[in-house]
Every structure is written in structure tokens, then in C-alpha cells.
Structure 1
């Protein structure tokens, strides 16, 4: 399939895209707002001649935050436009940067929509986080002489096979990229096999290792636990969980409560539209549950704290003694293992980590990551880490060492982007 056939099929799919938006809006009403932006209409005023950075959703927005701040510091005269595709990503960008960046949704990958957006933004450089490859946006940039960089790029074997089925579309698209800054050498080889130009592929590492933790975060968490009178309570967190995973986590927590009745689980679903249904699940299973969004203090009889607030994940990690990272007991590919590691928490995950194979391998080899297969394993590992403080400390220190050994990717990426921006 080439780009013209792809574009035709995308136009034909517009009714299905509209239906999908409507269905998502039923669970998350924000999807029904700002629809015109998705077609390059009613865009906000955008100052031209700056840097355009695309981060598809919440995870990419958080990963992009250090890069955006570094670009603001290094190029204070350049306006930065940050786009995303989801309401939660939009909320996160606005919470992180406010009026410090220009922001709108990225229009759908239709040639005329991409052209209208670029005619409005007129960036000097386009930066796409991770692996959001949109052929028409990239081609419209190439037509205008706008260099496009793929930053913190990752490409799993499964994704590479998917792109490989459409090489007539993928190869010309990759050839139009000015820089592919990949996380690992294995990913570099996958991009090259798909047709990327060797001179534009660089192994810079993952900027997620350059995570900077607010120095006061741990202190604020300790103060809140003190206010809850929970300094001696065993507290664990299951973060970024997906449908089908919450049931496993709650089953593990019930096992833990049998021997540690004062244990508290902080449960943080990945998607805000699931907050209500997960709350109902907790109540249905007979667990005394408090919602973080109410701002109420956790009481001694509470068994679950539902993390249904936005922008607090690092703080919620800081409140816990042990961290389980979700998206890994179901075949979703996992989520960021480095955030709890950077906070000095022993980290657990399920076996499905294909989105973070290299990071997971390093943490596992260092002894900083424990993998579990189901509820029994999870309950056993959490309880063991509470019983064995020396083991918990070894995992904590190993995670911090892995982060320290891999830092520097952000500077390498900035150097590559600087070459594209020129003097």
C-alpha cells in the first residue's frame, strides 16, 4: 500500500472515525469537544517559526516534559507548539506548561488537514515523540523543507513486523525523516531494515532515564502518611492498570489482607474513563474504598485508595512502599518502570513488557525488578518485600543505580535537534 491508497482509505474511514469518537465521548465527554481542531478548523492562534512537538497522549506528554523544558531553556526566543490526540494528554500538557507553550490537537493524518495545520504553525522543526508515524504529516513537512525528528524512538519486533507489511508506505515515509533518535541498537536495526536512511539513525538512549524527581516529593508524601496516621501501615500501589488487570490486583490485595488486615492498596487505573467502573468493582468486591479525588483523608479502616486524580502518579508512587506497574499482567506491553525506580521503590510487573524490553532487561539483570504471573505471585511478592526490608533495600538501590548509569540521553537528543535547527 502506498501513501495515496492509504489516504483514500483514511477518507473512506471518516464515518468510522466519527463513530469511534462518539462512542469514546459516551465514556469520556471531553472527546466530544474541540472536534474541529482534529480537522484543522478553529485552531488557536499559533506563533510561527518555532518548534512543533507531538506527544500522542499522557505517557508521551510526561516523557516529553524534560525535553520541552530543555528546549525552552536553550531556545527561549522560539515558540513551542505541543500537540496530542487525547483529552487526557491535552489536560496534562496544559497542567504541565500552561501558557508556556502553544497547544492544540494534532489534526487527523489527511493531506489537506496536515497542510492547514502546518500553514498555521509554520514550524522550523518538527519533533515526534516515540513512534507516532503519520505519513501525510511527515510528507507535508518534507514538502515545506521542515526537518522531522523522531525522538526517544522505540520500535518493538511486533510493531516492526506490522510496518514491514506496508513497506511501500513505510519506506518512503522513513526516508523523509531527518533524524531518528532511537533508544537502543536493536531498535536502530529495525528502523534500518524498514528502509530508514543510515545517516539519520542515532542511538541516543531513552530520555526516560533522565527523569528528574522533585526534591520535596518524598517529604510531602511522608507528611501525608503521617496525617493519615499510616506511617506504620503497609502500603503498596498498583499503577496504570488496564481492564482485566484490576481484578487480578484486587484478588492479590484480598490475599494480603488475610495476613495483613491493615494493608492499604493505592489503585490507579490507566484511563480516567475507567475510574467510576473500577470504583464500582472495588465496592462490589466488598473493599472499603476511598477516592483520592475527594481530597478526604484515608481512614484506618480504608482498604483501597482509588487514584482517580490527574497528574499525581509520581506523588502516589511516593506514598507507597512497593510498586506494581500495570499494563503487564495483560498483553498491553507495560508502562514506565523507571518512575517508581527513580523514587526508590522496589518495582514489580507482570510478564508482558514488550514496549519496555531493554529497560525491563536492565532492571531485571540489576535485581531491581520482580516479575509476577498472577494474583498469587503478586500477593506473595508484595508481602515478602514488606517482610524482608534488606531485600527491599537492595531492589531500591539497584533501581537507582540503573537510572544513574543510563542518564545523558536528553543531552544527546538535544545535540541532534540542535543540528537540525542550525545556527
Structure 2
């Protein structure tokens, strides 16, 4: 018996009341967390939900918004590689679940990710009996992996990444995570560095296929609207993109300290917080600093006002619009020790990015973008503001950076198709889908 897994399972079982309490609290701010809570524990209504597809589901798990958008690219290629497949989509967050609904076709199904207790995982697998399971990026759960292994469900990790901090955490519990990674059917890594770290844990890395997110095709209507915003603005537009907690305060400190050296008023600022539950707090922070703020939710289909200091991007699903509206952006999550957000979508929208010191979540993409001239590295927010505003007002330098961003995004495409074909090969080997 694996005593580490047994101890982990006991803790997961004991933590269920805490999970229910957390979901109840989060649902007060984000009602999506109050939907179908029983699914979190492997309880489905009606009782026969999904059983007509048992043995034939292609199950994809994408925990949150970013993973779901990456999964969308893979799912589109899976439908080509596996004609007539039925998608079973699981998510862990309310934003991921809302985004995932857009991916469903007739015959598909979406439920919450089961909590990683032995009982919930067993009920989930008994209910759906998927033909294959695809975990996106980092979603390794010991009981989920063990349950699939015992049930004979081939479970793979796609678009896999593992940063040094997460590796160190897993290495502290080798008896738990060693067998967990080894029980996966296949792993396809984003980078060679990710592959080496995953292999050190015993993961069966089959190939380095690159990052699925390079295959993104920004919505053309959103791009056109964002370009119209930028054309209508009398000032260059500089964006703080996917900002995390603490970063807006860093930006405000620059403004308050007059460290912008008069440049601030020459640029139109666009601030887009990463998480929607923080929209109100960021709005209050900006107003409290004496800034004139216009909220995206207030101007609808029209043009944003030009007589304000900050446009606040308080909407979900419009990042291509924001990137297209900006001349240059500061990368959220990189000015606090959070690992940085994804800069690939910005590049696909021809928006060069200024990166803070913390980009370990996307280390290879960040390095490649800087080498290509599509991104620029700074030490802190003060340097970031200075560089971004200078680039926004340098017509020739900005033109070169925007072209470099587009070429960088286009040069690394193809991971979605390669990953889908590899998954299809596993499915066909098991002969588990209906012909």
C-alpha cells in the first residue's frame, strides 16, 4: 500500500466540509461557484447523466480560464482527428466553466472537476468511463491519476509545464508524486526544460510539442474594434495586461510619486485586472488615487472616452480587443513574484510586451519573445512604465516591435494539431471509440 497516498486521501476526505464552505463564500461574489455543487463530489443529476456515452467520452480537463482557452485549440483539432467524438469537459473555476460552455456541441457534456477524494473520483469514473482523459498543463491530482490507472482509463498530460518551484514542491513528497507522474499514459511538454523537470519526477514524456497557445487565432471582430479604439485615441495607448493583486498599486505608486516624468499625461492607460472578482477593488484603488477612470462596462459598443486617465477593462473574454487597442503592454503577474501571465495572445495581436522580473510560468516563451524583439525585460514597475511609454511614442521602434510580435507568434504554431494526433493514436490503439 502507498501510505503517502492513503494519508493524502484521508486529508482530501476530511477537507470536504471546508471545500463546501469555500464554494459557498465564493458564490457570493461569483454565482457560478454555486452551480451544481454536487458534481464536485461525484454526484450527478439525473442519475443516468452521461451514461449513454460511457466508454466513448473524450474527456478534457481545463481547470481555469487560461487552460480552457488553450483546450479550445486542442479540442478543435481533436474533432478533426477523431470525427464524431463526444466531448466531456471538466473545469475547476467559474470563469473556466463559463468559457467552456462555448466549446460544447450537441452530444457533449460539461461537469465540474471531481474533488480529489477517492470516493468522488471513483463515482466520476463509474459514471462516465471515458475512453481517454486529457489533463491540461499542470493539473496533476494523485487520486484522479491513481483512479484512472486502476480503471484502465489512459490519462495524458497535454501542453505540460512544470516550473522549478513546483518541481521542488513535488520532490518534497516523492512517495506521493513519483507514482502519480509515473502512472500517466503520456506527457507532451511545452519546452525542453519542462520535459527535463517532468522526467525527473518519473513522468513518461513522449515529446516536446511546444505551447498550444501559439495556435490562437484572435477574434477578428474584437481586433477590429480594438484597432478602432486606438485610432480614435489622441494619445498612445499603454496597457497593464492581466494585472494581479499588488500590481495596480505598484502602478499607482509610480503615478503618485511623479516618477512618470510628465509622460503619464501623454499616454492613455488601459488597465485590465486578471480576475473579475477584483474589478471593483481596482476601480476603488484608481479612484482613490484621484485618477479619472472610465469602465469598459459603461461604454458598450461605442468608443471609450478620451478625457480620462485610465480605461478600466472590467470585462471577460475581450483580451484580443484590449491588446489590439494598445500600442504596448506591461505583462501582469511578472511584477509580483507570481510567474507572469501568458504573453502569446498579446503577440498574436501584434502587441509587444514589457516583462517584469517574474516570468517562471512562461520562462521559455518569455525568453524567446525577448530574443525576437517582441518583448522587453525590466527590473521593476518604474522601469517598465518608463520603457513602455517611451516605446509607445517611438513610431519606428514600435513598428518594428509590433512586426516582431506577429512573426514570433506565427513561427511557433502547430502544437495543437500534433497533440491531437498523438491523443488520437492512443484512442485508436485502445479501440475505445465508436466506429
Normalised by the size of structure 1, how large is the TM-score? 0.93
Q: What do the CA deviations read for 1:351-385 (whole angstroms, capped 9, x no partner)?
A: 11110111111111222211233332122112211
Q: What do the CA deviations read for 1:258-298 (whole angstroms, capped 9, x no partner)?
A: 33535322211111111111111111111111211223442
Between the aligned partners of 1:62 and 1:148, the Cα distance in structure 2 is 20
Q: 1:147 aligns with which of 154, 161, 166?
A: 154
Q: What do the CA deviations read for 1:38-79 (whole angstroms, capped 9, x no partner)?
A: 111235732331200000100101111111111123323111
Q: Contact 1:138/1:176 (CA < 8 Å) preserved in 2?
A: yes
Structure 2 residue 206 is the aligned partner of structure 1 residue 206: no
- Aligned in 2, Cα 1:359/1:33: closer, same or farther, shift over 3 Å? same
Structure 2 residue 351 is the aligned partner of structure 1 residue 345: yes
Q: What secondary structure sits across from 2:360 in the alignment?
A: coil
- Aligned-pair distance for 1:116? 1.2
- Aligned-pair distance for 1:98? 6.7
Instruction: Summarize the alignment of residues 79-98 of structure 1 with structure 2, pairs less than 5 Å apart.
Output: 79-97=86-104
Between the aligned partners of 1:400 and 1:30, the Cα distance in structure 2 is 35
Pairwise CA RMSD: 2.1
What is the aligned partner in structure 2 of residue 4 from structure 1? 6
More displaced stretch, 257-266 vs 403-412:
257-266
Q: 1:258 aligns with which of 259, 262, 267?
A: 262
What is the aligned partner in structure 1 of residue 383 from structure 2? 377
What is the aligned partner in structure 2 of residue 127 from structure 1? 134
Q: Contact 2:230/2:236 (CA < 8 Å) preserved in 1?
A: no
Instruction: Summarize the alignment of residues 148-297 of structure 1 with structure 2, pairs less than 5 Å apart.
Output: 148-197=155-204, 200-225=205-230, 229-230=232-233, 232-252=234-254, 255=258, 256=260, 258-261=262-265, 263-296=267-300, 297=303
Q: Contact 1:248/1:374 (CA < 8 Å) preserved in 2?
A: no
Q: What do the CA deviations read for 1:152-177 (whole angstroms, capped 9, x no partner)?
A: 00011111111111111112112221
More displaced stretch, 16-25 vs 180-189:
16-25
What is the aligned partner in structure 2 of residue 322 from structure 1? 328
Q: What do the CA deviations read for 1:63-98 (whole angstroms, capped 9, x no partner)?
A: 111111111233231110111111111111124547
Between the aligned partners of 2:119 and 2:420, the Cα distance in structure 1 is 31
Q: What secondary structure sits across from 2:262 in the alignment?
A: helix
Between the aligned partners of 2:227 and 2:372, the Cα distance in structure 1 is 28
- Aligned in 2, Cα 1:324/1:289: closer, same or farther, shift over 3 Å? same
- Aligned in 2, Cα 1:4/1:285: closer, same or farther, shift over 3 Å? same
Number of matched pairs: 418
- Aligned in 2, Cα 1:225/1:401: closer, same or farther, shift over 3 Å? closer
Structure 1, unmatched stretches of 5+, are: none
What is the aligned partner in structure 1 of residue 77 from structure 2? 70
What is the aligned partner in structure 1 of residue 37 from structure 2? 35
Between the aligned partners of 2:39 and 2:308, the Cα distance in structure 1 is 43
- Aligned in 2, Cα 1:270/1:99: closer, same or farther, shift over 3 Å? farther
Between the aligned partners of 1:98 and 1:374, the Cα distance in structure 2 is 45
| Structure showing greater relative contact order (alpha-carbon pairs closer than 8 Å, 6 or more residues apart) | 2
What is the aligned partner in structure 2 of residue 136 from structure 1? 143
Q: Contact 1:179/1:202 (CA < 8 Å) preserved in 2?
A: no
What is the aligned partner in structure 2 of residue 413 from structure 1? 419
Between the aligned partners of 1:235 and 1:99, the Cα distance in structure 2 is 42
More displaced stretch, 401-410 vs 81-90:
401-410
Q: 2:396 aligns with which of 390, 393, 396?
A: 390
- Aligned in 2, Cα 1:202/1:315: closer, same or farther, shift over 3 Å? same
Instruction: Summarize the alignment of residues 397-408 of structure 1 with structure 2, pairs less than 5 Å apart.
Output: 397-408=403-414
Normalised by the size of structure 2, how large is the TM-score? 0.90
Q: What secondary structure sits across from 1:323 in the alignment?
A: strand
Between the aligned partners of 1:132 and 1:311, the Cα distance in structure 2 is 23
Between the aligned partners of 1:187 and 1:390, the Cα distance in structure 2 is 36
- Aligned in 2, Cα 1:98/1:334: closer, same or farther, shift over 3 Å? farther
Structure 2 residue 110 is the aligned partner of structure 1 residue 103: yes
More displaced stretch, 105-114 vs 33-42:
33-42
Q: Contact 1:252/1:378 (CA < 8 Å) preserved in 2?
A: no
Between the aligned partners of 1:302 and 1:257, the Cα distance in structure 2 is 19
- Aligned in 2, Cα 1:406/1:300: closer, same or farther, shift over 3 Å? closer
